[in-house]
């Protein structure tokens, strides 16, 4: 009997895919840090029973219509805005993601980005590395304190809640805005729910962790930055398109806000001549929120487990489109 065919859009380590590889015919795009070209993805989709994809792989109606045997798309991310989930559901294709397993790791990175931006750690490290540290001085690369300040979290899901937990160690006041109230964060962490406008006007650190939706696209725009404190630090570890990058650049250049820490961008990867990269008060990272070895391996294995479940007529652990039904599911 012919084995199911699975295409993986990046090269993944054998220890992450070994079990799945025994059950299927598996092919990987032979590069770890270069996206699979669209034409090759289309060609592979024609043969696929399953796709293991990255957030940068666009799985739209064209790909789906080109994949008559496709049963499951397992996305190596919590987010799934790169996939046309509604159309996949129409075609009876399961869409899976990797929630929960990366919560702590992403929260660590988010808070680390906040610290690096507010305390100017990258600037300081570069000063030493470039041989420009000539003497000690009272206000050498003086940044902003974090302790006893107010953090405002936009998007109080599991990652937001975990960032709030880290903020309690710095004795910060915690504000949050979300589509719905998070009673656990309020009761356990002392977080206070407020309107979006109140949050951006009050918080010293505004941390964006909201998913990308029609409503959140360009949520942080020129009007938003104008309402922030001039001393505010803006952190984005969610999705790039929730921010109007031109407005952010202008806000930083004109001093409307003090700094920004960014792990995500409107178009990724960004070019070295991107305007935001010219600013010393910007800390820019290459979308590494969940990138610890332990967490990424766990994410890869969860993707493989989800694929195996669907291909063996079982329910996957983390399915996005709950409406999906597969005949013969155990």
Per-residue confidence (pLDDT) for residue 6, from 0 to 100: 98
Q: Are 3 and 24 in contact (CB under 8 A)?
A: yes
Per-residue confidence (pLDDT) for residue 34, from 0 to 100: 86
Which residues does residue 205 pair with via DSSP β-bridges, in sequence order? Answer: 151, 233
Label each residue of 6-71 as H, E or C: EEECCCCCHHHHHHHHHHCEEEECCCCCCCCCHHHHHHHHCCCCEEEECCCCCECHHHHHCCCCCC
- Whether the CA torsion 254, 259, 264, 269 is positive or negative: it is positive
Per-residue confidence (pLDDT) for residue 120, from 0 to 100: 98
Among 120, 239, 296, 301, the one annotated catalytic: 239
If one counts every other C-beta atom within 10 angstroms of the C-beta of residue 152, the result is 26
Is 239 annotated as catalytic?
Answer: yes
Q: Are 296 and 308 in contact (CB under 8 A)?
A: no
C-alpha distances out from residue 278 to 78, 252, 254, 284, 299, Å? 30, 11, 14, 11, 34
Sheet with 94-96, edge to edge strand ranges: 25-28, 5-8, 50-53, 72-75, 94-96
CATH number given to 103-284: 3.40.50.720
Which residues does residue 95 pair with via DSSP β-bridges, in sequence order? Answer: 73
Residues 152, 213: Cα–Cα separation, whole Å: 20
Domains 5-99+293-311 and 103-284 share a fold: yes
Ramachandran region, residue 120 (left: φ > 0; alpha: ψ -120 to 50; beta: rest)? left
If one counts every other C-beta atom within 10 angstroms of the C-beta of residue 133, the result is 12
Residues 137, 146: Cα–Cα separation, whole Å: 21
Residues 322, 89: Cα–Cα separation, whole Å: 9
Per-residue confidence (pLDDT) for residue 328, from 0 to 100: 45
Per-residue confidence (pLDDT) for residue 326, from 0 to 100: 65
Fold of the 5-99+293-311 domain: Rossmann fold (3.40.50)
C-alpha distances out from residue 319 to 76, 207, 253, Å? 13, 27, 43
Six-digit token string for 249: 């650049």
Per-domain boundaries in the chain: 5-99+293-311, 103-284
Per-residue confidence (pLDDT) for residue 105, from 0 to 100: 98
C-alpha distances out from residue 44 to 6, 39, 58, 83, 84, Å? 9, 9, 14, 17, 18
Q: What is the mean pLDDT of each run of 10 residues along the chain (330 residues)?
A: 94 93 95 90 97 96 97 95 96 96 97 98 97 94 97 97 98 97 96 98 98 94 98 97 98 98 96 97 97 97 97 95 70
Q: At what angle do helices 293-311 and 14-23 cross, to 10 degrees?
A: 10
Q: Which residues touch 176 (CB under 8 Å, ≥6 apart)?
A: 152, 153, 154, 156, 160, 164, 182, 185, 191, 192, 193, 194, 199
């Amino acid at each position: 009997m012919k084995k199911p065919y699975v295409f993986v859009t990046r090269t993944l380590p054998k220890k992450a895919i070994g079990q799945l590889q025994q059950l299927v015919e598996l092919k990987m795009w032979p590069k770890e840090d270069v996206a699979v070209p669209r034409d090759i993805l289309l060609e592979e989709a024609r043969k696929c029973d399953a796709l293991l994809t990255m957030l940068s792989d666009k799985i739209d109606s064209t790909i789906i219509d080109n994949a008559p045997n496709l049963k499951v798309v397992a996305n190596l991310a919590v987010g799934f805005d790169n996939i046309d989930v509604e159309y996949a559901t129409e075609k009876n294709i399961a869409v899976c993601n990797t929630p929960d397993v990366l919560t702590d790791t992403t929260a660590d990175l988010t808070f680390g980005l906040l610290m690096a931006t507010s305390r100017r750690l990258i600037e300081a490290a570069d000063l030493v590395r470039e041989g420009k540290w000539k003497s000690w001085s009272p206000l050498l690369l003086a940044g902003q304190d974090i302790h006893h300040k107010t953090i405002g979290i936009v998007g109080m899901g599991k990652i937001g809640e975990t960032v709030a937990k880290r903020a309690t160690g710095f004795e910060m006041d915690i504000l949050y805005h979300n589509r719905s109230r998070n009673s656990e964060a309020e009761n356990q962490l002392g977080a206070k729910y407020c309107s979006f406008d109140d949050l951006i006007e009050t918080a010293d650190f505004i941390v964006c962790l909201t998913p990308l939706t029609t409503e959140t696209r360009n949520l942080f725009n020129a009007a938003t930055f104008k309402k922030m404190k001039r001393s505010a630090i803006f952190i984005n570890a969610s999705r790039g398109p929730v921010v109007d990058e031109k407005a952010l650049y202008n806000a930083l250049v004109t001093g409307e806000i003090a700094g920004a820490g960014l792990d995500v961008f409107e178009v990724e990867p960004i070019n070295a001549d991107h305007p935001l990269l010219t600013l010393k008060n910007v800390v820019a990272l290459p979308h590494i929120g969940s990138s610890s070895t332990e967490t990424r391996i766990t994410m890869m294995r969860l993707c493989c487990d989800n694929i195996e479940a669907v291909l063996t007529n079982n329910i996957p652990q983390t399915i996005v489109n709950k409406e999906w039904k597969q005949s013969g599911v155990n």
